[in-house]
Amino acid sequence: MDTKTTNYFDEMRIDDVKIRDIYQHYQHWQSNLSTGTLERKSAEAELLFRRLGITFAVYGESSGSERVIPFDIVPRIFSRTEWTRLELGIKQRVRALNAFLHDIYHEQEIIKAGVISKKQVLGNALYRPEMQGVDLPNQVYAQIAGIDLVRVAENDFYVLEDNLRTPSGVSYMLENRNTMMRLFPELFASHAVEPVEHYPQMLLDTLRESAPSNISNPTIVVMTPGSYNSAYFEHAFLASQMGVELVEGQDLFVHQQKVYMHTTDGPQQVHVIYRRVDDDFLDPLAFRPDSTLGVPGLLDAYCSGNVSLTNGVGTGVADDKSTYFYVPDMIKFYLGETPLLSNVPTWRLSEKDDLKYALAHLPELVVKEVQGSGGYGMLVGPTSSKAEIETYKQRILKDPANFIAQPTLALSTCPTLVESGVAPRHVDLRPFVLSGKDIRLVAGGLTRVALSEGSLVVNSSQGGGTKDTWVLED
Amino acid sequence: MLSRTADNLFWMARHIERAENIARVLDVAHRTSLLPRDVEGTEANLWYAPLNITGCAASYEEKHGLARASAVTHYMALDPDNPSSIYTCLKMARENARAARSTITSEMWEIINATWLELKRLSDQMDYDYEKFPDFFEWVKGRSHLFRGVTLGTIIKDIALSFIKLGTFLERADNTARLLDVKYHILLTEKENVGSSVDYYQWGSLLKSVSAFEAYRKIYRDVISPLRVAELLILRDDMPRSLHACMDEVEDALLEINGSAGKEARRSAGELHAALHFGRIEDIFEQGLHEYLTHFLGQTYSLSQNIRDAYLARQDRFETLPIRSAGQSQQQT
C-alpha cells in the first residue's frame, strides 16, 4: 500500500493487515481469485457498457463523441447500521430543504425571523419571482434530490452539496448493480446485498403522487433536451424503466394552459413532466427566449396547476453553494431538530473576513463557484500549481461573491482496480432521495471514485469513475 | 405513441432494410462480375446497375467518374458521404434507435448499437480491395436478419411494432420495384432467346438478389421465363419480397395503427394492395412493365407522404388538427 494515502480513512482496511468486518467476506473472496481475474472481468464490464451504449458525452469534446464512464469492479460497502444513520440524516436534510423552498415562495418566515437575509434569497439569480404564491402538490419542490456525501472518519460524514435541480447518475447506480450481478453472480449468492432495482418503481410512484391533485390516473413523461445531451442515456433509461414516453420540447405544446403531446393518435394531455431540462430552457416565453428545447407557455400551465414539473421551478435557490451554508439553520428552524449530517465549514467570499482568510490560505482550500456543478471551474488548492492558484485568485477578486471556499477534506479511500493493481482511491457518495407524499430512498447510491492517484475530484466529467454501492447486514 | 417516436421507429426499420437491400444488390453485381464478360457487357455497364437502383449514379460520377467495380462497391458500401451507402444507413438506423431508445427493447438496441460499432471497426480494415466484400455483404444481411428476429422475439405487439413493419415493408416494396425496373429490359427479351444461357444468368441473378431463386424452382419447377419471374416478384403473395407480400404487410400494419388521421393512408394502401391482389401478369406486360413499375413507385411514394402527414409529422398537425378535450385524451391513457 502506498504511503501517500495512508492518512486517509480507508473503507476496507483498518491497516495493512486488518480488514474491516463488513469487508471480511468480500476480501476473502477476492483474495482467492486467480491472478488476472479482476482485470479480465473489468475488461468484460467495459465491453458490456459500450455494447449497451451506457455512455455520456463530455462537453467541449468533438460533438457526438460518446464515452463510457469507467466502472470499477470493487464494490463500496456500507453496513446496515451505518446506512440507517445516513438515511435519517439525508431524509432530514431533504425535508428541511423542501420546507425552505415552500417558505421562501410563500410567507418567507425564515427571512422574517432573521435566520437568512432577504438579499441571500431574493437577490439570488436562481430565485424565481414567478413562483411566488404558487402552490405545489405535497408542498414539495425537489421531488428528486441527490445529496453528495463524503466520509473523513469512521463516524464522520459531511454533506458536500445538495443537488436539487436535475441531479443525474441514478442510471449508473442501477447499471453498475446490473453489471456486477452479471459478472459475479457468486458474490451475490454469498452476500445479502440490499436491492436497488426498484428505484424506477419508486420514482414512478413519486411522480404519480406529484400529479395535480384532481388527476387520478396521470399521464407522465420524461422530458430530455435531446439525444445529444450528456445524460441522454439516463433519460431514455428511466423512461423505459417506468414505461412512460420520453419527450423533447418539440413533442409538447400548450393549449389553454394545458400541456399536450403530439401522438400518432392526435394530441394527448400530459400531467406530470419529469424534466431533465434546466429552468432557463423550459419556456422561451418566460425564460430564455432563444431556447429551442422548451415549450412556449409551459410555465403558465405549471403555475395554473394543470401540469406538474419535477423538479419544480426555482429549486436552484436552495442548492446554491452560498445557500448551502444555511441548511443546518433550516433544519433547526423548520424541523426543530439537530442536524444529523454535518456541513463542511464554508467561507463565503462575499463576506470581507472570509475573503481575507481564503485569499491567504488558497493552497490549502477548495474553492468553488456558487452556482457551479459537475466539478467545472473549481480550484483544489493542494493539487494546484502556484500559477493555477494565482490565475484563480484573479478570478475570485473580480467577483468574490460568486465563490465559496472550504477546507480540503480528507476524503475516504476505497480499494480500486487501477493499472498497478488494486490500490486506494478517493470516493464520495450520491444517494438519490425521492419526495412525494413520503420521502424514500433505496439502500445504495452512486459511489464516485477519483481514478488518478491522490486526486480528490470524483466528477465523471473530470475523469472520475463509479462503483457499485452495497448495503449489507452487519 | 409520440409522433416523433413513431417517425424514428419507421425510419430505423427503413434504414436497416435499405442497408440489407444495398448489400443484396452489390452482392449480385459481384457474382455477375465473375461470369464471362459478354453476359452484361462492359464493367461500366455492369456496375451502373447498382448505382441506378439506389439512385446515386450522378453523385458517384461526380466523385469517381466511370463506374468501376472497386469504386462502386466502396461508394455504396462504406462511403460516409454517400447518403444511401450501407454505412450511412446503419449510422442513421442507430441514430433513430437512440432517439426511440425508450420504446425499443434493450435487445434491439444492443443489436443495432453492436452492428454500428462493428461496422466502424470493419470499415477501418477495408479499403478498396473488393475481394473482401462478399463476406461483408453476408454480414450486413445477417445483422438485418438478426435485428428482425430480435424485434419479433422481444417487442410487445403494439403499434411500435406496426410502425417498424410499415417501414420495413414499404422500403422492401420500393426496393423490389426498383430492382425490377433497372432490369426490366432483360425481362422483355425476344421469344427466340428464351432459354439461352445468357438469360439464365440474368434472371438467375435477379432472383438471387431477392432470395427468390430457390422459391422459383420450388413453385414453377420449370425453366426460367420472364413472365414468371415478374409474376413471382410482383404478384405472388407467398414470396416474402414480392410487391404483393410487402403490401399485405403494409396494409395490415396500417389497420393495426388505425387512428382518425390515417384514413387517406389506409385508402391508398388498400387500393395498391387490391391492384396486386387481383392483378394479372399478362395485363401488366400489356401495359408495359416499366410503365407499371414507375406507376407503382409513384404510388408508394405518395403513400409514404400520407403516412408522414397522418402520423409522423408534428408541426403540421398542430395547425390542422382539432385539439381533443382532456376527457377524451385521458381515456386513451
CB contact under 8 A, A248 and B329: no
Q: Do B144 and B277 belong together in one domain?
A: no
What amino acid occupies position A160? L
Q: Do B150 and B166 belong together in one domain?
A: no
Question: What pLDDT, on a 0 to 100 scale, did the predictor assign at position B269?
Answer: 95
Question: What pLDDT, on a 0 to 100 scale, did the predictor assign at position B299?
Answer: 94
Q: Do B173 and B286 belong together in one domain?
A: yes
Instruction: Give domain status of residue B329, yes or no.
Output: no
Instruction: Give domain status of residue B42, yes or no.
Output: yes
Integer Cα distance of A27 and A13 in angstroms: 10
Tell me which residue has cell 472481468. Answer: A41
Integer Cα distance of B22 and B48 in angstroms: 13
Compare B184 and B268 and report the one with higher pLDDT: B268
Instruction: Give domain status of residue B133, yes or no.
Output: yes
Considering only the top CATH level, what class is A347-407? alpha beta
Q: Do B135 and B190 belong together in one domain?
A: no
Pick A264's closest partner by Cβ from B113, B311, B326.
B311
Last residue of a domain, one of B98, B125, B155: B155
At A201, list the grid cell: 418503481
Instruction: Give domain status of residue B24, yes or no.
Output: yes
Using alpha carbons only, what angle is made at residue B40 by residues B36 and B42, rounded to the nearest 5 degrees? 85
- Give residue-wise pLDDT tens across range B284-311: 988 888 899 999 999 999 999 999 988 8
CB contact under 8 A, A262 and B2: yes
Q: What is the mean pLDDT of chain A?
A: 91
Q: Do B162 and B309 belong together in one domain?
A: yes
Q: Do B222 and B259 belong together in one domain?
A: yes
pLDDT, average across residues B251-271: 91
| Residue A322 C-alpha from the chain's centroid | 17
Which phi and psi angles does B22 have, rounded to 5°? Answer: -65, -40
Q: Do B194 and B278 belong together in one domain?
A: yes
- B182 pLDDT above the threshold of 80: no
Instruction: Give domain status of residue B54, yes or no.
Output: yes
- Give residue-wise pLDDT tens across range B247-256: 999 999 999 9
Instruction: Give domain status of residue B332, yes or no.
Output: no
User: Which residue stretches of A8-36 are H helix?
Assistant: 21-31
Q: Where are the domains of chain A?
A: 3-212+307-341+410-472, 347-407
Instruction: Give domain status of residue B300, yes or no.
Output: yes
- Which secondary structure element, helix H or strand E, spans residue B22, and what is its range? helix B3-33
Question: What pLDDT, on a 0 to 100 scale, did the predictor assign at position B256?
Answer: 93
For residue B322, with 0-12 CB atoms within 10 Å meaning exposed, 13-18 middle and 19 or more buried, which class applies? exposed
Q: What is the DSSP letter of A195?
A: P
CB pairs under 8 A between A and B: 102
Q: Do B109 and B191 belong together in one domain?
A: no
Question: What pLDDT, on a 0 to 100 scale, did the predictor assign at position B189?
Answer: 56
CB contact under 8 A, A269 and B109: no
Contacts of A52 in chain B (CB under 8 A): 106, 109-110, 113
Instruction: Give domain status of residue B327, yes or no.
Output: no
Last residue of a domain, one of B155, B178, B205: B155
In the beta sheet, which residues pair with residue A150? A158
**CB distance B29 to B183 below 8 Å:** no
Q: Give residue B110's domain range.
A: 1-155
Domain count, chain B: 2
pLDDT, average across residues A66-90: 93
Integer Cα distance of B59 and B29 in angstroms: 19
Q: Residue A452, SS3?
A: coil
Last residue of a domain, one of B112, B130, B155: B155
Confidence of residue A3 (pLDDT cuts 50, 70, 90): very low
Question: What pLDDT, on a 0 to 100 scale, did the predictor assign at position B187?
Answer: 64
- Give residue-wise pLDDT tens across range A343-359: 999 999 989 999 999 99
Q: Do B141 and B171 belong together in one domain?
A: no
CB contact under 8 A, A264 and B259: yes
